[in-house]
Amino acid sequence: MSLFGTPGLIDMPTARTAQDGIIGIGTAQFRNTGRNTLTFQITPRIQGAFHYSTLNGYDADGGTRYDRSFDIHMLLAEETDARPAIALGLRDFGGTGIYSGEYVVATKEISHGISLTGGIGWGRLATRNSFGSPFAFISDSFKTRPKQGSGGGVQTGQPDFDSWFRGDAAFFGGIHWQATDQWSFAAEYSSDAYLDEAAKGVTQQESPFNLSAQYKWGNGVTLGAYYLYGTEAGVSLSYTLDPALPPIPGGIGPAPPAILPQHHVAAASWNMPEAKTGPREHLTRILAQDGLILHRFHVDAKTARIAVANTRFDAGAQAISRTARAMANTLPPHIAIFEITLITQGIEVTKITIDRTNLGALEFSPDAAWQSYARSRIKDAFGADQGDPVPDLYPIFDAGLGGYLEVAFFDPDNPVRIEFGIEAEAEYSPAPGWFLSGRIRQPVAGNLDNATRVSNSELPPVRSDVFRYAQESDLRLSYLTGEHFSRPAKDVFARMTVGYLEPMFGGVSGEILWNPVNSAFAYGAEINYAVQRDFDMQFGFQDYGVVTGHASTYYDFGNGFLGQLDVGRYLAKDWGATFTLDREFKNGFKLGGFVTLTDVPFDTFGEGSFDKGIRLEIPVSWLTGRPSKDTVSQTIRPVYRDGGARLDVRNRLYDVTRDLRQPALANQCGRFWR
């Protein structure tokens, strides 16, 4: 790993990439410079990185510059016996431009463990021993690079397309030796002269050569030591993880029960005390042991129809498997067909039909998971007979008390702001599809309320005043809502939410979603009337109200990538669109990014030019190995402004229903027998 936290030599890049899906977190420090990086190998050939750098003494008053930027690295050609790996990259293409530069680089292993790298850089990577543009023969426009502003970039926060691969270029290169599985060494010639930092006294250089030694432990942690530019030393610490491999492979939850031979089930039905209370009560107890709530039940001559709500498993396929096993081990042998309807938010979503004989026949088959999915019949649950309602199930009440941790990363004046405290949540459901929910929080400690930056937004301060809510509140009402979920038609879902919708806004939200059970596409529409809440986060409101809404298109690419396009009106009354692309692993680990462009001019938006960021969602089951539907999520924005700000409504329909539709169930089929 380089000092930028990406695959490279020291300061210079290589043509190497990480393993597909790998996430890296790194920090490096040398003299007055600190670099913190999050990297993600988006595809086998494309890597993205987000940097948060600190440059002490860089600003005009001698203050510290907190800089945020994005990189992208693309593998153009893989290494072969006769050809090096070739890659192209952009550094700092969406930040202030302090580190802005582009490169084309080649890397070739010349002996076991020894690789040579050579490349050409532009921009910052052409500030030492540069020469004229190699692309000048294409057009005279490649001869010069547009002048950068005081922040570094031509326009802070937006890609400078007109600068890429333009102006003078320079060579860089080096050698890397992987001495053992743990130790590696590198030497490089750098084409970065650190002109701005040297002029401001942040750093100094006496040589273009750098040296490094790194030690990697088996747990993904790497420690690096560096001698840089003939004047100073540096250190780095990085950690890489593979989201596809959770810390506890296979989990530590209870194993599913074996499927009993049918003659054992028949004998048990006569002898077990539970059987005397009836099959529904018996099945209810068995399902409850796995966090599955029986809502409907009916048995006829050959078919058992039930509807269940899953409160434990983060994969719908696993909930189906546990339900089918419970039915096979409790219902009489003459029942040949199991019809299982999955319920979420009190509404029936998807119906799965399973032949009982397949369960026993496939239990020990090498491809049991896929065969079980392939032989199941998946349909929309609208209008289907799901059985008779279980009496006395409603009302349902649930409550909890615990701690919370809220983290705000990469604020322009502070890299990390943290707050922790106590929270209480409660939910009351008087009937299917109806919910009254709320959460209160009491902060205990933290520095969220220490922010001193005052909003200078030219737009209504719908988000830029976020820290005032931490400063002017104590006991906080995070949300208090009434919700109704319904099924107006086949493949159609509806939601209505009213109340204190989120920490900063209350109002009314309505949504409708068309999500065909077997389709990769889904389409939705949402309309809201939102009023900004008082800063004390109690029951009062401010004078600002707005009608917002979006038309949304969702697409499951089928290879773990999920796309979403939202077009409409935002909280600051601006119109535009948000594009989101996530990569979701089979275990539910999700990482993605989003970009919002609206009719707000970049200068009016302010620092950052437009809303963009990274979002991460980690299932608690991935962290602990125990079944859970809970997740830990975090959104990272380079800067939090008012343009492109959307209402944060809980339980949007696509998020609620997607995991129970055919494309997601197919992706989860490997967990059917768990």
Is residue 485's pLDDT more than 90? Answer: yes
Assess if residue 72 is contained within a domain: yes
Domain boundary among 189, 206, 241: 241
| pLDDT at site 159 | 72
Non-local CB neighbours of 651 within 8 Å, separated by 6+ positions: 345, 483, 485, 495, 497
Non-local CB neighbours of 423 within 8 Å, separated by 6+ positions: 401, 402, 403, 404, 439, 440, 441, 442, 478
| pLDDT at site 311 | 94
| pLDDT at site 162 | 81
Assess if residue 11 is contained within a domain: no
Give the whole-angstrom CA distance, residue 151 versus residue 252: 51
| pLDDT at site 150 | 42
551 and 588 part of one domain: yes
Under a CB-based contact definition with an 8 Å cutoff, are residues 647 and 572 in contact? no
Under a CB-based contact definition with an 8 Å cutoff, are residues 454 and 466 in contact? no
- Give the containing element (helix H, strand E) for 471: helix 466-471
Helix, strand and coil in the chain, % to nearest 5: 15, 45, 40
Give the whole-angstrom CA distance, residue 508 versus residue 548: 10
What is the domain count for the chain? 3
| pLDDT at site 539 | 96
Ranges 279-283, 483-487, 590-594, 602-606: which has the least confidence: 602-606
Give the whole-angstrom CA distance, residue 181 versus residue 158: 41
* 326-352 per-position pLDDT tens digit: 999 999 888 999 999 999 999 999 999
Assess if residue 7 is contained within a domain: no
Assess if residue 225 is contained within a domain: yes
Under the banding of pLDDT at 50, 70 and 90, the label for residue 270 is: very low
| pLDDT at site 523 | 98
- Most confident region among 332-341, 480-489, 616-625, 662-671 by mean pLDDT: 480-489
| pLDDT at site 369 | 66
Residue from 439, 456, 453 nearest 402 by CA: 439
76 and 185 part of one domain: yes
Is residue 264's pLDDT more than 70? Answer: no
Residue from 329, 333, 332, 309 nearest 319 by CA: 309
Residue from 373, 377, 386, 383 nearest 353 by CA: 377
What three-state secondary structure class fits 658?
Answer: helix
Give the whole-angstrom CA distance, residue 429 versus residue 295: 13
Length, in residues, of the chain:
674
472 and 501 part of one domain: yes
What three-state secondary structure class fits 385?
Answer: coil
- Give the containing element (helix H, strand E) for 359: helix 356-362
Assess if residue 253 is contained within a domain: no
* Average pLDDT of span 215-225: 94
354 and 432 part of one domain: no
Under a CB-based contact definition with an 8 Å cutoff, are residues 619 and 584 in contact? no
Under the banding of pLDDT at 50, 70 and 90, the label for residue 364 is: low
* Average pLDDT of span 272-296: 82
233 and 274 part of one domain: no
CA 619 to chain centre: 10
Give the whole-angstrom CA distance, residue 308 versus residue 342: 5
598 and 464 part of one domain: yes
Give the whole-angstrom CA distance, residue 62 versus residue 59: 5
What b/e readout covers 148-168, taking b as 16+ CB neighbours within 10 angstroms?
Answer: beebbbbebbbbbeebebbbb
| pLDDT at site 157 | 62
| pLDDT at site 96 | 78
422 and 462 part of one domain: yes
* Phi, psi for 174 (deg, rounded to 5): 175, -175
Ranges 57-66, 148-157, 171-180, 251-260: which has the least confidence: 148-157
CATH number at residue 121: 2.40.160.40
- Give the containing element (helix H, strand E) for 506: strand 505-514
Domain boundary among 207, 241, 275: 241
Give the whole-angstrom CA distance, residue 586 versus residue 172: 40
Give the whole-angstrom CA distance, residue 399 versus residue 428: 9
Using CA of residue 619, residue 258, residue 305, residue 275, what is the dihedral sign? negative
Under the banding of pLDDT at 50, 70 and 90, the label for residue 153 is: very low
Assess if residue 573 is contained within a domain: yes
415 and 388 part of one domain: no
Is residue 426's pLDDT more than 80? Answer: yes
364 and 387 part of one domain: yes
* Average pLDDT of span 588-599: 94
Q: Contacts for 382-385 with beta carbons within 8 Å, 24 or more apart? A: 382/348, 382/487, 382/489, 382/490, 382/491, 382/492, 383/490, 384/339, 384/341, 384/348, 384/351, 385/298, 385/305
217 and 292 part of one domain: no
- Give the containing element (helix H, strand E) for 226: strand 221-228
* Phi, psi for 415 (deg, rounded to 5): -65, -30
Non-local CB neighbours of 551 within 8 Å, separated by 6+ positions: 523, 524, 525, 566, 567, 568
* Average pLDDT of span 520-540: 97
| pLDDT at site 512 | 98
Residue 498 in tokens: 């009213």
Non-local CB neighbours of 454 within 8 Å, separated by 6+ positions: none
385 and 426 part of one domain: no
Under the banding of pLDDT at 50, 70 and 90, the label for residue 475 is: very high
Under the banding of pLDDT at 50, 70 and 90, the label for residue 605 is: confident
| pLDDT at site 276 | 44
Question: Which residues form the domain of 292?
Answer: 262-393+667-671
* Average pLDDT of span 543-559: 96
Helices (H), 202-354: 262-271, 279-288, 316-330
Residue 561 in tokens: 């990538």
Give the whole-angstrom CA distance, residue 610 versus residue 190: 33
| pLDDT at site 272 | 53
Ranges 166-180, 265-279, 455-469, 520-534: which has the least confidence: 265-279
Assess if residue 37 is contained within a domain: yes
Is residue 476's pLDDT more than 60? Answer: yes
Vertex 161: Cα angle to 156 and 164 (nearest 5): 105
Residue 423 in tokens: 């929270």
* Average pLDDT of span 172-193: 97
Ranges 293-297, 414-418, 481-485: which has the least confidence: 414-418
Under a CB-based contact definition with an 8 Å cutoff, are residues 554 and 564 in contact? yes
DSSP string, 150-199: TTSSSSTTS--GGGTT-S-EEEEEEEEE--SSSEEEEEEE-----HHHHH
Is residue 152's pLDDT more than 60? Answer: no
Assess if residue 254 is contained within a domain: no
Question: Bridge-partner residues for 341, per DSSP?
Answer: 307, 351
Share of the chain above pLDDT 70, in %: 93
DSSP string, 426-459: EEEESSTTEEEEEEEEEEEEESGGG--PPP--SS
Under a CB-based contact definition with an 8 Å cutoff, are residues 412 and 639 in contact? yes
CA 483 to chain centre: 26
User: For tokens 């949007």, what's the residue?
Assistant: 652
Under the banding of pLDDT at 50, 70 and 90, the label for residue 154 is: very low
Ranges 28-32, 219-223, 258-262, 322-326: which has the least confidence: 258-262
Under a CB-based contact definition with an 8 Å cutoff, are residues 616 and 593 in contact? no
Domain boundary among 241, 276, 292: 241
Ranges 125-134, 136-145, 432-441: which has the least confidence: 136-145
* 651-670 per-position pLDDT tens digit: 999 999 999 998 888 887 77
Vertex 492: Cα angle to 489 and 493 (nearest 5): 115
Mean of pLDDT over the chain: 90
232 and 321 part of one domain: no
Is residue 398's pLDDT more than 90? Answer: yes
